[in-house]
Amino acid sequence: MHAIMREPLAMRYWSSRPHSTLAETERWVESMIPVDPAMSDDFIVTLNGALIGKLGTWKLPEIGFLIAPAYWGHGYASEALEVFIERRRELGSGELIADVDPRNLASLRLLRRHGFVETGRVAGTWQVGEEMCDSVYLRIELRRPA
């Protein structure tokens, strides 16, 4: 994960600046381990045994994902998101939500393709380093009609 999280391009729309040390990424990964599975559902995304990213919910129901730029545009995030949505459906989750920087057009397209709909926009919601970022909020209903 550190190879991804230290890369400025990969971290452009993440909620923190690129990680400058391995210890910083280790702390981030370790923070995901002891959480209650009823509150969190995070996964490492792999391809042929190689780590290419992360997708899941640090705090349900908010989803997030981070894929190495070398793998953007190949459908891997889409495949992981599809599996994750079905997993959460099977586990009985009612919804998933996302908070996306409006400049992150690829993530917005990905979420919309999978059924997420925009529920609102707010300016100045995140400060990452010296930059103030905005948010587009999206939601998908997971319960199937009766």
- Is residue 15 included in any domain, yes or no? yes
Q: Give the integer Cα–Cα distance in Å for 46 and 76.
A: 9
For 143, list phi and psi in degrees, rounded to 5.
Answer: -70, 130
Q: CA-CA distances (angstroms) from residue 45 to 87, 126, 141? A: 15, 26, 24
| Full domain range(s) for residue 54 | 2-141
Structural domain includes residue 146: no
Count CB-CB contacts under 10 A for residue 55: 21
CATH code of residue 115: 3.40.630.30
- Report the predicted TM-score, pTM, of the whole model to 2 decimal places: 0.90
Does 24 map to a domain? Answer: yes
**For the segment 91-139, what is each residue's pLDDT rounded down to a tens digit?**
999 999 999 999 999 999 999 999 999 999 999 998 888 889 999 999 9
The total of structural domains in the chain comes to 1
Establish if 130 belongs to a structural domain.
yes
